[in-house]
Amino acid sequence: MVEPSSPSPDPDDPVGDDLGGECSPSHQWRELFDELAGGLRAFLRNRLRQESDVDDCLQVVFVKMLESVDRVAPAARRAWVFRVAANEAAQMWRSEASRGRMLEKLEKHGDEPTDSDDPIDRVILTETTRKLEESLLTLPAAYREVVSLRIHENMTFQEIADHLGIPLGTALTRMRRALDRLRTEIDQNHL
Amino acid sequence: MNTSETNQDNSNDERTSVENLCMLYLFGELDSDAKSRFEHQLASDPELCEMLSEQSYLITSAAAATVKRALPAEVRRGKVLSTSGAWRSIAALSAIAACIALALQVVDYSARPADGLALNRTALSPEPDLDESVLIAKAWAASQHATDSTRDDSSVIDDVEPLDDLLDEQPSDLDATLDWIFVAISSGDEKRMEEGNDG
């Protein structure tokens, strides 16, 4: 299978988004995919036994990236890509699906669980998000500020440190502790 | 501090360091060399893979959990601020326009003679109580007179009386309801008589 590292613009794109210049979201995703292709491949090789499965998984990840162009905050896109890759690898590992079955499944159920149209899934997702949000709200404001600045303002940790007048290590620590709190919440509630 | 505690601290430090590395990688903050080293290690280190997977899950969860509190992108990037700025600009321009209109009005007011008629003429007050039919009739009569006479147009223009003078000459007992044509005829006759006297 051809590695989707440098896909050409989609001529069928109805809104011309792919032709809309280097700042279009889909272009940003493509650049991101090219940037992460090496890391993704290394990551997936650790989880899948066959190189062809790695290629298939990369293909699926790329398709899902394009399907989710505007749904993910720019700062969280790398993390999102690896999460999708991990989910897809886990699914492939569990089912040991062939390439054909894998792609067939993608055609039938292209969205990952978080994008489900199933109302029950949406309720569960909403409830999970609410719990995580509540958990983050129990953090000191200084920690939440770092999370918000990093994820939603897309500031680097160095910029955050400069902005808040704190050492870089402190900014990293606050982010890490916020994520630790989420991890605890997820573990305790089996989210 | 015993050996086991020291080992645990070192282990924690190492974990913290690796977590930081994963975070920086997932946020795209590693330089190219560090990124290459990290990816090379990723291919051969299942624990690092697990940690990266966990961090990616936590970061996306954090993004989802904080998205409601995040300001829309256009607000963060100042579009709303610029919109309110536009409103402020419009308000400022309106204020300037109002000031200019007021200044012009003051200039107009001060340039007029201080008679009772001028005092009544402001931009906000209506014109004085003029009888339009009288004015039209006098103008018509003047033009008739000019047509009848042998003088050229420039003399006609020279003879045109100022509007205020016309108003001053308006007979007080003139019935404003008279048909304007009768007024015109009588005014024309007056002019002719004056010319006859002058001649």
What ipTM was reported for this prediction?
Answer: 0.71
Residue of B nearest to A182 (CA): B58
Counting the structural domains of chain B, the total is 3
Share of chain B above pLDDT 70, in %: 37
Q: What is the pLDDT, as a whole number, of residue A135? A: 79
Establish if B88 belongs to a structural domain.
yes
Q: Cα–Cα distances in Å, from A144 out to A30, A134, A158, B11, B19?
A: 30, 12, 17, 27, 18
Written as one string, the DSSP assignment of A7-24 is PPP-TT-TT-GGGS-TTS
- Does residue B111 belong to the interface with chain A, where contact is any CB pair within 8 Å? no
Domain housing B25: 3-66
Contacts of A43 in chain B (CB under 8 A): 42, 49, 52-53
Written as one string, the DSSP assignment of chain B is --HHHHHHHHHHHHHHHHHHHHHHHHTT-S-HHHHHHHHHHHHH-HHHHHHHHHHHHHHHHHHHHHTTTSPPHHHHTTHHHHHHHHHHHHHHHHHHHHHHHHHHHHHHHHHS-SSHHHHH--TTSPPP---HHHHHHHHHHHHHHHHHSS--HHHHHHHPPPHHHHHHHS-TT--TTS-HHHHHHHHHHHHHHHHHHH-
- Is the domain spanning A119-189 CATH 1.10.940.10? The answer is no
Q: What is the pLDDT, as a whole number, of residue A158? A: 95
Residue of B nearest to A80 (CA): B60
- The mean pLDDT of B57-68, rounded to a whole number, is 82
Per-residue pLDDT for chain A (191 aa), expressed as one digit of tens each? 334 433 333 433 333 333 445 567 778 788 888 899 999 999 999 888 788 889 989 999 888 888 876 778 889 999 999 999 999 888 887 776 555 555 555 555 544 444 455 666 666 667 777 777 887 888 889 999 999 999 999 999 999 999 999 999 999 999 999 999 888 888 877 66
User: Residue A92 has which token pair?
Assistant: 């492939």
- Does residue A90 belong to the interface with chain B, where contact is any CB pair within 8 Å? no
Quote the CA–CA distance of A159 and A166 in Å, as a whole number.
10
For residue A96, the tally of other CB atoms under 10 A from its CB is 9
Establish if B74 belongs to a structural domain.
no
Expressed in angstroms, the distance from the first to the final Cα of chain B is: 134
Establish if B75 belongs to a structural domain.
no
Cβ contact B52–A43 (<8 Å): yes
User: Which residue bears the tokens 């006479």?
Assistant: B149
- Does residue A76 belong to the interface with chain B, where contact is any CB pair within 8 Å? yes
In a shared domain, residues B14 and B45: yes
From the list A43, A152, A176, the residue facing B20 with the nearest CB is A176
User: Where in chain A are the domains?
Assistant: 17-112, 119-189
Cβ contact B49–A46 (<8 Å): yes
Q: Bin A32: left if φ > 0, else alpha if -120 < ψ < 50, else beta.
A: alpha
**Among B residues 128-147, those touching chain A with beta carbons less than 8 Å apart:** none
Q: How many residues does chain A have?
A: 191
**Among B residues 47-76, those touching chain A with beta carbons less than 8 Å apart:** 49, 52-71, 76
Are the beta carbons of B62 and A179 closer than 8 angstroms? yes
Cβ neighbours for A158, distance < 8 A, ≥ 6 positions apart: A168, A171, B29
In a shared domain, residues B152 and B122: no
Q: What are phi and psi of B122, to 5 degrees?
A: -125, 165
In a shared domain, residues B173 and B149: yes
CA angle, B167 then B172 then B176, to 5°: 80
User: Which residue bears the tokens 């008629």?
Assistant: B117
Distance from CA of B59 to the nearest CA of A (A): 6
Query: What is the gyration radius of the CA atoms in chain A, in angstroms?
Result: 19
Cβ contact B49–A172 (<8 Å): no
Contacts of A135 in chain B (CB under 8 A): 65
User: Residue B6 has which token pair?
Assistant: 């020291």
Are the beta carbons of A56 and A102 closer than 8 angstroms? yes
CATH class of A17-112: mainly alpha
- Does residue B183 belong to the interface with chain A, where contact is any CB pair within 8 Å? no
Establish if B157 belongs to a structural domain.
yes
